[in-house]
A = this chain, B = another copy of it.
Amino acid sequence: MYFASDNSGPANPEVLAAIAAANEGFAMGYGADKEMAAVTNRLRQIFEAPQAAVYLVATGTAANVLALSTLSQPWQTIFCTGPAHVNMDECNAPEFYTSGAKLTLVTPEDKITPQSLRAAIEGEETRGVHGPQRGPVSITQVTEFGTVYSLEELRALCDTAKSFGLPIHLDGARFTNAMVSLGCTAAEMTWKAGVDAVSFGGTKNGCMGVEAVIFFDPAAAQEFEYRRKRGAHLFSKHRYLSAQMLAYLTDDLWIQNAKAANAKAARLAAGLEAAGATLTHPVQANMIFASMPRATHKKLFDAGAVYHLWDGELDGDPEAHVTARFVCDWSIGDDQIDTFLAHL
């Protein structure tokens, strides 16, 4: 009954097997391994982007901040939501890696809209050299509240950003969960909509720790490589990153994992709703935000369930409702979900 995070589950056996297979003899370091060549090819194929520049790093924060710093200047501001991972959960890594760019919080809500984005961009408009200059827009897909931007929504955001000449970054820590939710292609969800760079997550969806950063215009390639190295994120034994990513992309493992995680979340959400919980956001991928009485949470914790309360403490009025976050990864068993629902 472990719903704390999709970074708490195990890696797929296929991923471990690939690491073991890569662990033979000597290999060139720093990205010159043969597995990386295969990763690049495979991701270019998947994204239908034969010129794309592809890099691997080990953490999602590294992927985000290296991508954003490559797209911005220190005197600019990055447009994102208040709940965005880059704002809330990276301990100022974006400010560090950009050498002091600012984050403009477009909205305290889950999703940016073309209207809120336009207003935020125009709000940074009239100050000449005095205010921060307009920089990239960062969109999280799946959002931090488990919702998914439709292709129409993505295109509208990109169009708005492009109308000001601003580049777009997609934080895809849960990229595949969104893609299978939309039933679209990787290309449709990125460059065909107008996205310039994407953090393509593996860690939360079956890998041990690997994320790809993809730039559809390869002109950024050299600068990114310097940024990755001086950020201390270039692995000497790089083959172990490549092997993970390659296994992840083989035989649709990435897609199967995401489908499984989304399906389990749907099962859990249905059960929660049936039991009277209020879903505060649409469940469109593998995360659920559900409001229930404190007494219910207490009962579930006592039964051994693991998940995070989002807007309150466990102590307090037992009747009062507190929202919790539940995340399903590919590996959680249906029996675990059913046991949880039984306790509920």
By a beta-carbon cutoff of 8 Å, the part of chain A in contact with chain B is 2, 4-5, 7-11, 16, 19-20, 23-30, 57-62, 65-66, 73-77, 88-93, 95-103, 105, 127, 129-133, 203-204, 208-209, 223, 225-237, 240, 306
Question: Which of these, B25, B28, B230, B234, contacts A74 with CB under 8 Å?
Answer: B230
Query: What 5 A-B pairs have minimum CB-CB distances, sorted nearest first?
Result: A7-B236, A95-B100, A99-B99, A2-B26, A62-B232
**21 pairs, CB–CB < 8 Å, chain A vs chain B:** A2-B26, A4-B28, A7-B29, A16-B16, A26-B306, A58-B58, A59-B234, A65-B232, A73-B223, A74-B99, A75-B229, A76-B92, A88-B127, A90-B230, A91-B226, A95-B102, A133-B226, A208-B237, A209-B235, A231-B231, A232-B233
The reply to whether B29 and A10 form a contact with Cβ atoms under 8 Å apart is: no
The reply to whether A131 and B91 form a contact with Cβ atoms under 8 Å apart is: yes
The docked-state distance in angstroms from the alpha carbon of A95 to that of B75 is 9
In addition to A74-B230, A89-B127, A92-B100, 11 A-B residue pairs with Cβ atoms within 8 Å of each other are A5-B29, A11-B240, A16-B16, A26-B306, A75-B91, A77-B92, A89-B131, A93-B230, A95-B95, A95-B100, A204-B236
The reply to whether A234 and B26 form a contact with Cβ atoms under 8 Å apart is: no
Q: How far is the CB of A50 from the nearest CB of chain B, in Å?
A: 24
The reply to whether A16 and B8 form a contact with Cβ atoms under 8 Å apart is: no
The docked-state distance in angstroms from the alpha carbon of A21 to that of B62 is 27
The docked-state distance in angstroms from the alpha carbon of A103 to that of B102 is 8
Q: Which residues does chain B contribute within 8 Å of A30, judged by CB atoms?
A: 129-130
Interface of A is mostly: loop
Asked if A209 meets B240 with Cβ closer than 8 Å, knowing A9-B26, A91-B132, the reply is yes
The reply to whether B237 and A203 form a contact with Cβ atoms under 8 Å apart is: yes
Q: Which residues does chain B contribute within 8 Å of A204, judged by CB atoms?
A: 236
Asked if A236 meets B208 with Cβ closer than 8 Å, knowing A74-B96, A88-B127, the reply is no
The docked-state distance in angstroms from the alpha carbon of A91 to that of B93 is 19
Residue in A60, A65, A232, A240 with the greatest tally of chain B CB atoms within 10 Å: A232
The reply to whether B130 and A89 form a contact with Cβ atoms under 8 Å apart is: yes
The reply to whether B235 and A58 form a contact with Cβ atoms under 8 Å apart is: yes
Q: Which residues does chain B contribute within 8 Å of A101, judged by CB atoms?
A: 92, 95
Q: How far is the CB of A105 from the nearest CB of chain B, in Å?
A: 8
Asked if A75 meets B102 with Cβ closer than 8 Å, knowing A129-B226, A232-B233, A237-B209, the reply is no
Q: How far is the CB of A100 from the nearest CB of chain B, in Å?
A: 4
